[in-house]
Structure 1
Amino acid sequence: MQTKKKISLIIVILLVFLGGTITLYRMTSSPPKYETKEFLMDTMVSLEVTGQEAKKAGQAAIKAMRQTADRSTRYNEDSIISKINKEAGNKPIKVNDDILIMIKAAKKYGRLTEGKFDITIAPVIDLWNFETGKNLVPSTKKIEEKLELVDYKKIIINENEKTVMLAKSGMKIDLGGIAKGYIVDQAADVLKKFNIKSALINAGGNIRTIGTKSSGDKWRLGIKNPRDNSKDPKDNYLNIIEVKETNVVTSGDYERYFKKEGRRYHHILDPNTGYPARGLASVTIISDSSFKADILSTALFILGFKEAKSYIKEHDDIEGMLVTTDLNKWRSKGFKELIAD
């Protein structure tokens, strides 16, 4: 009988030990991770999500981004933006809340930058044909003709009716400098509804971090060297920064460009001249909103070094780095504090 009791006691002890081991494993094992990529708004969007509902959350976030991207690109004939452009000078178009928010913000920053940020630049963008790779510089006459159609003040918004209209026939709007930031914020909101505490969203230069890495470490992000002609990987980045729960957005003259007779022509156009903005090679903005950072990285690039520097210094809610075309760098105090050792 005593032998049987001893055997029973040993079995109980083993079961308790194994049960404790299994519980310990569950506590210390890594939570599920989900990674995906999708081509949206002419750029590759990637998600890295960690959490108990990582896959479900990641798929929902991509779905929300895709829906808004489809509605806000003018290159989709069925999009709301295409309808607004087609009916320019004719009639207002009913819009959803997302489009209304984006266009209202665009007009606001148009005023704040005295027209340096202007989403009605689309007719001039079409002249340059950066997408086709033909590398042709439009004539001054053609640019001047198209500039007659550029004026953010002629975007007519009726908030009560939720409609948008362009006052003049031939006008077009392009949300390329604003929509990526908006859909990144949208994706982050979706992930947080699933109680995701760790995620990285990268939409072609628009980076959003949620919390820290699952390990607890901060995210390490590289700020690209806009004149990276070196074979040495160390020269690919001007700085490595360490961040958590923030947005880092960079606009640069290296993203879409061509060279003609030794001169660089890039896709960030000055609405006042119709030509590529000069002076800066890249602008990086850090903000609590990807939407705001996306707008500002473009607007400040066009404003130029002096005004961009003043703007960043005057606004406590953003940090930034400016890189001139001869690779001189200016960093705000808060930005310097994020640089990795």
Structure 2
Amino acid sequence: MPVYSGNYSMKKFNKIKCFSYVFTVILALGFVLTACEKPAVTLTTPESVNGFKLNTFVQIDSYTSVSKNTLTEALNLCDYYENIFSRTKEDSELSKVNSNQTTSISKEMYELVSAGLEYAALSNGAFDITIGSVSRLWDFTAESPKVPDSGRIAEALTHVDYTRVSVSDNGDGTYSISKPCGITESS
């Protein structure tokens, strides 16, 4: 059995002592830093706003300390996007594009149509942003929606072709769209 000098034991003791000090300081810092952190407030009854937006009932609930104004701003974003993308609102940007009232589009419309065209290409047309001429035949908002006859569906399908829609970034902060038929409606 080897014999160790007392000097070696003292070195070992000093290392352990140094490690203990460092560990204690790190642990103390951890407690101090987490004690300074403001705990998240969790409400038992949520702050809530709601309204009829985007052709459906929308409700936004928050179980944290978010103000009602912040929730209202989030709900108002629904109005903002509905004014751009609604196919049922006559004065929306999409309705104006579909009725050939404009070829100038917003950045939001440009980005969404660009993404839609990309997904259409990736899916070989299984996802097609021009399907509106077919889907509107069901009239989902009617009291008694009915399945349309196959002749009407076949005729509407002649208007479905994402390759006939293109969007352009004009390079000056403006965007445009070219389409022989509507994005979600036939012309």
The structure that is helix-richer by fraction is 2
Instruction: Work out the CA distance in 1 between the residues paired with 2:133 and 2:64.
Output: 45
Instruction: Work out the CA distance in 2 between the residues paired with 1:27 and 1:125.
Output: 49
- Of 153, 156, 169, the residue aligned with 1:143 is 153
* Alignment of 1:174 onto 2:145: no
Instruction: Work out the CA distance in 1 between the residues paired with 2:142 and 2:94.
Output: 21
- Structure 1 residues not aligned, in runs of 5+: 1-25, 176-341
Instruction: Work out the CA distance in 1 between the residues paired with 2:99 and 2:40.
Output: 57
Whether the 8 Å CA contact 1:71–1:81 is kept in 2: the answer is yes
Instruction: Work out the CA distance in 2 between the residues paired with 1:115 and 1:69.
Output: 25
- Of 75, 82, 93, the residue aligned with 1:62 is 75
Q: Aligned residue for 2:95?
A: 82
Map residues 239-258 of structure 1 onto 2, 5 A cutoff: none
Q: Aligned residue for 1:95?
A: 105
If the length of structure 2 is used for normalisation, what is the TM-score?
Answer: 0.67
Instruction: Work out the CA distance in 2 between the residues paired with 1:28 and 1:157.
Output: 45
Q: How many residues in Structure 1 have an aligned counterpart in Structure 2? A: 144
Instruction: Work out the CA distance in 2 between the residues paired with 1:27 and 1:128.
Output: 51
RMSD of the alignment, in Å?
2.6
Q: Higher Cα Rg: structure 1 or 2?
A: 2
Map residues 1-341 of structure 1 onto 2, 5 A cutoff: 30=42, 33-87=46-100, 93-160=103-170, 161-166=174-179, 168=180, 171-174=181-184
* 1:100-154 deviations in Å (ceiling 9; x for gaps): 1111111111011111111111111222222214443322222211111101111
> What's the % identity of the aligned pairs?
24
Whether the 8 Å CA contact 1:73–1:174 is kept in 2: the answer is no
Instruction: Work out the CA distance in 2 between the residues paired with 1:114 and 1:34.
Output: 44
The structure 1 segments of at least 4 consecutive aligned residues displaced by more than 6 Å after TM superposition are 26-29
Give the letter for the 1:35 counterpart: S
- Structure 1 pair 44–153 and aligned structure 2 pair: CA distance change class (3 A): same
If the length of structure 1 is used for normalisation, what is the TM-score?
Answer: 0.38
The structure that is strand-richer by fraction is 1
